Amino acid sequence: MHVLATAGHVDHGKSTLVRALTGMEPDRYAEERRRGLTLDLGFVWTRLEPAGEHLAFVDVPGHERFVATMLAGAGPVPAVLFVVAADQGWQPQSQEHLAILDALGVRHAVLAVTRADLADPGPVRADAVERLAATSLGKVPSVAVSAVTGAGLDDLRAELARLAAALPVPDAEADVRLWLDRAFTVRGHGTVVTGTLGAGTLRVGDRLVTGDGDVLRVRGLQTLHEERTEAGAVARVAVNVHGPAAGRLGRGQALLTPDRWLTTGTADVRVAGEPVGDLPRSVTLHIGTAAVPVTVRPLGEDTARLTLHRELPLRIGDRAVLREPGGSRIPCGVTVLDVRPPRLDRRGAGRARAAELAGMTGRPDGAAELRRRGLVRARDLLAMGAPLPAGPVAGDWLADDTRWKDLGDRLAAEVARHARAHPLEPGLPAEAARRLLGLPDRALVDALVRAAPRLRDRQGRLYDTGATGPALPPAVRAAVDAVRGDLERTPFRAPEADRLTRLGLTRKPLAAAVAAGALLRIADGIVLLPGADTEAAAVLRRLPQPFTLSEARQALDTTRRVAVPLLEYLDAQGHTERVDDQRRRCRPGRGSGGGRESNPPARDPRTPRF
């Protein structure tokens, strides 16, 4: 199916022409037929020859009071049948409708010069072709017709068939954004909405969401009054929806693929057709079938920030129209540049933003968006309409290379600064690191630590394992030296808790000594010298294998208080393994230096560093 909108001045015969082409009545209301004046959108269709494809028309009103309705009809469609009457020629609404089509960037059209039986169509035809050629429509085919005599109708059908064949093929896999032009209730079925599906595919059973996040389910689907299980773009569709929000649907709202769209109340745009500084502060933004009041803040020569009175699902590259309701200004077009723009709170932020916007094209560019933002979720970038330029660094977070390197450098600096400021608690808490770097997710801190060769996370605190910072405070260093003296005589007889307390090695000083590599924590209250784990493994390797706890305790010349946690530590480090409930053995292939050392023995504990 292909869908076209009509366009042109009031009483130039748009409805009469599509009635003659389709044999269907586009005016749905008796008042419209009585007055001969289209008041609302009409929908009719015909079958094109020779391909046999359907061509649907969205017939729009031409009166100046219904320009907003015309925009709702023309906004979602890719092509137009532009109508000018031979006996009246170019008129004000002809010009306004053309300006709207140009603002929307419509590129496909056929010109029909109607009432060719009442006046010579030649001059009007030449004038209209020239006017259309100066816009986004370019040079269009034209046909002189009479809906009364039927003259030219076959030629017009042929031109429409050629137009339909030349239209770009929509992406059937695209995310759905169905702008609604009607919503009504059908007895026994509930709410039915209609619209022009410009991209994507709808299926019975699909879940859709509104811009407010309300979830709806597709219970039924029709195109051109025929029941379907699915409908692909481009198509006129009637969708029977079910959900708590179904009764609140109406023209101007959109049904969306879940989790694939961002709604926004602020957008930065490029304006065409009028200097930004000449725009009124308050205008109406028309996109799809929506008409939303906005406040305009000029930024650059052709860029502005729009603050919307209600949020809309927008994407980078969207084309829309700004129009002053009831005013005499020609509508101007806008291209959406950014749907998640930064705040402009600081002095000079507006000028800086204008300079940034000047370099934006309005074409979705994932790499450029990532450079500007530094960090962005993959799903948000896709919802903005931009492709993913790279894989995530953590979860679904993407990071610009330069920003990521800068964050890594800043994290290392913050870890070192914290260690200098807190020698008894040198590890920077990971959550504090997140706040210091202004990161939105703790997972990003974890990823930065994994990427840094010297940073380590131990129980939620970050340490620089290769730093050469200041030594431990003198009192702590003296206590460590005393413990060293005890352990040099009996390396596996860990000091008792009261001995540590008398030396001043309470919780914080002891944790600092362990973090600095001066002591090795085996378990709570059990500390040995660095390297004691590999030394113990070497002693146990000389025992007949497997061995019992008692045999290990005797070989290590220690107590059960130390032997039990030490063997469990050696199990965890991969030096030993259990054979059964009573015995262990040294793991094969592990030498005296083969274990994973939490504190390398090469570091001299008398001058600990961290």
Alpha-carbon distance 158 to 146, whole Å? 15
Q: What confidence score (pLDDT) does residue 39 get?
A: 59
CA–CA distance, 78 with 55 (Å, rounded to integer): 12
Residues 6+ apart with CB under 8 A from 399: 370, 374, 375, 393, 407, 444
Instruction: Give the pairing of strands 142-144 and 108-114.
Output: parallel
Tokens of 354: 């204008």
Q: How far from each other are the two terminal CA atoms of the chain, in whole angstroms? A: 71
Identify which of 383, 355, 358, 179 has the alpha carbon closest to the alpha carbon of residue 264: 383
CA 388/CA 379 separation, integer angstroms? 9
Backbone torsions φ then ψ of 387, nearest 5 degrees: -75, 160
How far apart, in Å, are the Cα atoms of 582 and each of 547, 550, 570? 8, 10, 16
Residue type, position 266, single letter: T
Helix 430-437 with 442-451: angle, nearest 10 deg: 100
Say what the pLDDT of residue 140 is. Answer: 95
User: Peptide bond preceding 546: is omega within 30 degrees of 0, i.e. cis?
Assistant: yes
Q: Is the pTM of this model over 0.85?
A: no
Sign of CA pseudo-dihedral 60, 62, 66, 70: positive
Stretches where the chain sits below pLDDT 70 are 27-40, 50-51, 62-66, 327-328, 466-471, 589-610
CB 512 within 8 A of CB 423: yes
Exposure string over 103-123, b if 16+ CB within 10 A, otherwise e:
bbebbbbbbbbbbbbeeebee
Both tokens of 568, joined, read: 């469990």
Neighbouring-strand partners of residue 557: none
The burial of 247, by beta-carbon neighbours within 10 Å (0-12 exposed, 13-18 middle, 19 or more buried), is given as: exposed
Asked if residues 190 and 219 have their Cβ atoms less than 8 Å apart, the reply is yes
DSSP secondary structure string for all residues of 368-381: HHHHHHSEEEHHHH
> Taking CA 326 as the corner, what is the angle to CA 320 and CA 331, rounded to the nearest 5 degrees?
30
Instruction: Quote the pLDDT of residue 28.
Output: 62
CA angle 138, 237, 385 (to 5 degrees): 60
Q: What's the confidence (pLDDT) of residue 51?
A: 66
Give a three-class secondary structure readout of 90-136: CCHHHHHHHHHHHHHCCCEEEEEEECCCCCCHHHHHHHHHHHHHCCC
Distance CA 293, CA 142 (A): 36
- Measured in degrees and rounded to the nearest 5, phi and psi for residue 512 equal -65, -40
Structure tokens that stand for 323 in this block: 């129009």
Look-up of token digits 């480090």? 573
DSSP 394: B
Taking CA atoms, 563 is separated from 130, 523, 528, 598, in Å, by 97, 11, 12, 19
- CA-atom Rg of the chain in angstroms: 37
